[in-house]
Structure 1
């Protein structure tokens, strides 16, 4: 615990712009690796409750053939961009690869901006709820600055200029567009199949109910899953 506090103190002295990759790398891979990775994986799952996103994945057909590919691609490319400066050889290569993948689909700027908001806001929320300490303002600004820069280089327009504004955008976008559609359910089912692959068959119904219980009402309804008993839902919401 003493080493953690000392490391947090040292990071707090770094400049959020000049050392954004160093600070973010420590958060993502040293201080909170499980929380950051899990929040982003669940964040991607959350995007499937937006019809315009699930429709693209459904129509392309690649997701059904290999549902783990999107998670693997995002995991690898995000690591490269965080660990290696996006102006450096590896970081810039990862960014070009990301842009190439997206160029194959007709994705709206609004959807790009929503996914960007997920990458900024959800790790902050998870660390706030489950981390051993709160993020400092420097760390929060670093997360925002790094992903804002990545979003700009992806060609995303009208990115909000503050954490509060992009959090508001996320909430507003979900309230308007996170509604049920058959393709939401289709992509969610494929993802659940991936998640349950390592679970004993006899336990899968129980695990499914736990997953449904952990969803907030808006997400659950947008994916067409049943409401769970209050006692089960009270265990906590993680998506």
Structure 2
């Protein structure tokens, strides 16, 4: 197999009818490392919406059990990618996600926005840092895949195609990105988690490198100092260089799923999908997080898109 043979095959498929096959080939053969990083960034972006970041802080799942929450999210989503929507393992994963979401008061708009990040952020990441750009076939297949997932998750009014996903994400971030103190604690905990995957002396360097990959509206929403232009050029250049190196490698012959990622550390002896995630608090009916009226946050006026 030559480097672009799989892309040629993907272009013979139908992005609607064959969306699962295309998405699986793209995410597990063509860009497994990039998809892992992009989906991390996708979830991270959602914290900058105060209603999402604040709720995640109040559940304490991403501040006190950060590694477990990271692992469970990746593994539940991965089960559907690996097995497809009709497999029992996938149905179990979707039931677990639905049960967790229904335990909390989450708006339809916030759910729709999170789904949009899964579609849009990976394409933008891969177009910038991958060994090739994502084709229109792959982008539309990803939109169809997550539209199907959204239907299984009971999310209403899911965008119909990639352009609509992108439009919704950008407008939602323009209108909703803002400062929230509790959301900042979730962001800090996530950055600490990512640094913990590497030798301790590298932690400050890795935090700076991670911030250098974030766009200005995201940095502003969390009130992080923006890394200098030289730092951004070096970090982003290094990631682009990795993509160019991958282009010279032989194509992957076996799929690589999220469960195989070294960042998944919480289940060295294996896991059961039915036991992943959180479970309702005994004796508590409705959302277990107490809610107070709170300001929507100081708006971030700058356009919420990836900067060059």
Same fold by TM-score greater than 0.5: yes
Find the residue that maps to 2:3 and give its secondary structure.
Answer: helix
Give 1:178 deviation, angstroms.
0.9
**CA gap 1:10/1:198 in 2 versus in 1, 3 angstroms:** closer
Deviation per residue, 1:163-192 (Å, 9 max, x gap): 112111111111111111101211011112
Higher relative contact order (CA 8 A, sep 6+): 2
| TM-score calculated relative to the size of structure 2 | 0.72
CA distance in 1: counterparts of 2:102 and 2:219, whole angstroms: 30
User: 1:21, 1:83 within 8 Å by CA — same for their partners in 2?
Assistant: no
Paired residues for 1:144-183 under 5 Å: 144-183=143-182
Query: CA distance change for structure 1 residues 18 and 186 in 2, over 3 Å: closer, same or farther?
Result: same
User: Which position in structure 2 is the counterpart of 1:44?
Assistant: 43
Flag as ranges the 4+ runs of structure 1 deviating above 6 A. none
Shift of 1:34: 0.5
> Does the C-alpha gap of structure 1 residues 38 and 17 become closer, same or farther in structure 2, counting only changes over 3 Å?
same
Contact 1:118–1:170 (8 Å) recurs in 2: yes
Instruction: Report whether the alignment pairs 1:68 with 2:67.
Output: yes
**Structure 2 counterpart SS, 1:82:** helix
> Residue deviations 1:9-44, cap 9 Å, x none?
122212223322111111111111001111001111
- Name 2:194's counterpart in structure 1: 195
Structure-1 separation of matches of 2:205 and 2:135: 38
Query: Which 5+ residue runs of structure 1 have no aligned equivalent?
Result: none
Return the offset for 1:8: 1.7
Task: Please give the residue correspondences for 1:2-151 in structure 2 after superposition, counting only pairs within 5 Å.
Answer: 3-151=2-150
Taking the aligned partners of 2:18 and 2:128, their CA distance within structure 1 comes to 26
Partners of 1:10 and 1:198 in 2: CA distance: 36
- Contact 2:179–2:223 under 8 Å retained in 1: yes
Compare the two structures and name the one with the higher helix fraction.
Answer: 1
| Stretch deviating more after TM superposition (70-79 or 100-109) | 70-79
- Over 3 Å counting, the alpha-carbon distance change for 1:80 and 1:203 in structure 2 is closer
d(CA) in 1 for partners of 2:20, 2:224: 39
Structure 2: runs of 5+ lacking an equivalent: 240-305
Aligned residue in 2 for 1:218? 217
Cα separation, partners in 2 of 1:11 and 1:230, compared to 1, 3 Å = closer
Q: Which residue number in structure 1 is paired with residue 185 of structure 2?
A: 186
Q: How many residue pairs get matched?
A: 238
